[in-house]
Structure 1
Amino acid sequence: MDNTHESISKILEVEIKNLESKEIQLIEIAKKLNSEKFYPLDFLSNAVINRSLKLIFGFTTLLKNENFIAASHLVRCHLDNIIRFSASWIVNNPHDFAIKVIDGVKIETLKDKNGKLMKDWYLRNLLNEEHPWISNVYEQSSGYIHFSSKHIFNSIYSIDSQNRTMQFSFSKKDNEINENLKIEAIQCMGEITEILLQYLNGWYHTKENPNNMNQ
């Protein structure tokens, strides 16, 4: 009998299962992309799929074990997947770009087809034009990566304003974290994965229609 979800609500369990279902989609597109011809961009595709599967698994595992503080860091890491992978779509030659990244050249030192350096903030802003929630998620999730007020408030168990006292909590598991915050994080992970799948499926379509491929 699976007792994994005994400590979380049914709503969270459903949201987590919805996110986990996207793992299957990532594996399926990986199979398709690696079934025939192989191009330099496939190295980046494989890497981003592999990293995404591990991040989603880590995220859901931590949530199931009531450790939202640790899980929340992974939202920012997963967002990084699409921010940097998206650079492949705004350069003159995606395969030349991929070869440079494979050789260890930093993406932020490379330019897009408009001559703009592809720093994270630049790539993020471009993505945000199509998906207006990305910049906000970036800022919010960065607050969990860097020690900040979010961690301070998460350590407070209760406040008695009348007596001017407060209690702190020290625990390996979540304490009084709003469930809506967890649901929002799960859905963000899902939306990020959907964007990644759009890129991956687009690349697969291009491979299937080589006349559309930049040479």
Structure 2
Amino acid sequence: MTDEALLVFRPPREPRPIFAGTAAHRFPELRGPREYLDRLRVHHLDLARRVIEADDGKIYLPDLLVMSMMQRSYGLVEAVIDCVDGYNLAAAAPLLRIQLDTLVRACYVAHHPLTDEVVTAMLEGTEFRRMKDVDGKSLTDARLVELATPHHSWLPPVYKETSGWVHLSVNHLSAAWQVTGDRFNFGLPLRPDVVPGRLWLELLEAMTKATEELFGYVELWESRKGLPLGQARGWPDAEPEPSGG
């Protein structure tokens, strides 16, 4: 724990208009979810400030991990919005998979009785897959997903699907080539008409859900920071109201 820290919060990028030709312009059903995800992006800064200022601004070991998760999440959310705008599925899907990677680790740490030990091990360079859970099992990605599933039942199929976009796979072949009769169609970059609006909507909704549930763990730390075990502060609103669009 320390009272000394140099903290810099830059102003967030202004909400980006929905330009003609972007996915949310082509598919109007994306407009509301995209705008809401962009508000979650900005909310990262508000929530991070609250966490830092809790307990008179003292910095504890879990703060180091929580703030690194928030920094990572902000960048991922910002990038996913840009990727959806530009029909960049090859980047958007792996970015969602990385956000799920953050969520399952936040879930594990939130339910670990000795969070300081996890953070200390990370600071010493120990990867999660080199750590073991209370059952003595290595914390591989698969194990982290298994442990997170009781708390996030929607996560396993999304994790599996997005994992197929991390390494070159049939997903990339299907997106690159389309067959019409005896003709092969290919476009570079990905043609906007190849990916249906439904898929973009599912991606935005999954990124939103993962981000909101990550915020829940951040708020959990905010509510307990610096207090004796079993005590907690009141819980403020977790995220902005959903868009009606």
How does the TM-score come out when normalised to structure 1?
A: 0.89
Aligned partners of 1:76, 1:10: CA distance in 2, in Å? 25
Question: Alignment identity in percent?
Answer: 22
Task: Find the aligned partners of 1:179 and 1:3 in 2 and give their Cα distance.
Answer: 19
Gaps of 5+ in 1: none
Matched, 1:166 2:183: yes
**How many angstroms apart in 2 are the aligned matches of 1:126 and 1:65?**
35
> Separation in 2 of the partners of 1:107 and 1:169?
40
Task: Quote the offset at 1:143 in angstroms.
Answer: 1.0
CA distance in 2, matches of 1:75, 1:49: 15
- Among 16, 34, 39, the alignment partner of 2:52 is 34
Q: In 1, are the aligned partners of 2:108 and 2:147 still within 8 Å (CA)?
A: no
Are the counterparts in 2 of residues 108 and 120 from structure 1 also a CA contact under 8 Å?
yes
The Cα shift of 1:208 comes to 5.8
| 2:35 counterpart residue number | 17
Give the aligned residue type for 2:34: I
In structure 1, distance between residues paired with 2:123 and 2:230? 24
What residue is the counterpart of 2:240 in the other structure?
none
How far does residue 188 in structure 1 lie from its aligned partner after superposition? Answer: 0.4
- Which segment is superposed worse, 17-26 or 50-59? 17-26
The one-letter code of the counterpart of 1:191 is K
Bigger mean CA deviation after superposition, 40-49 or 65-74: 65-74
Greater mean alpha carbon deviation, residues 58-67 or residues 171-180: 171-180
Match of 1:70 in 2: 91
Q: Which residue of 2 aligns with 1:135?
A: 156
- Which amino acid is the alignment partner of residue 114 of structure 2? N
CA contact (8 A) 2:94 2:165 kept: yes
Provide the rounded CA distance (Å) in 2 between the counterparts of 1:166 and 1:143: 26
Q: Over residues 52-82 of structure 1, what are the superposed CA-to-partner deviations in whole Å (9 max), with x where a residue is unaligned?
A: 0001111110111122222111111111111
Given residue 168 of structure 1, which amino acid in structure 2 is its aligned partner?
N
Deviation of the 1:17 alpha carbon: 0.8
Tell me, in whole angstroms, the C-alpha distance in 1 between the residues paired with 2:179 and 2:35: 32
Greater percentage in helix: 1
Is structure 2 residue 76 aligned with structure 1 residue 55?
yes
- Once the two structures are TM-superposed, the CA of residue 3 in structure 1 deviates from its matched residue by 5.9
Paired residue total: 208
Partner of 2:140: 119
Deviations, residues 79-112 of structure 1 (Å, cap 9, x unaligned)? 1111122221233310121111122111122223
- Normalized against structure 2, the TM-score is what? 0.79
Work out the CA distance in 1 between the residues paired with 2:207 and 2:36.
10
What is the deviation of 1:211? 4.0
Q: Show CA shifts across 1:157-197 (max 9, x none).
A: 4411xxxx122212224342111011001100001001101
Q: Identify which of 204, 207, 220 aligns with 1:186.
A: 204
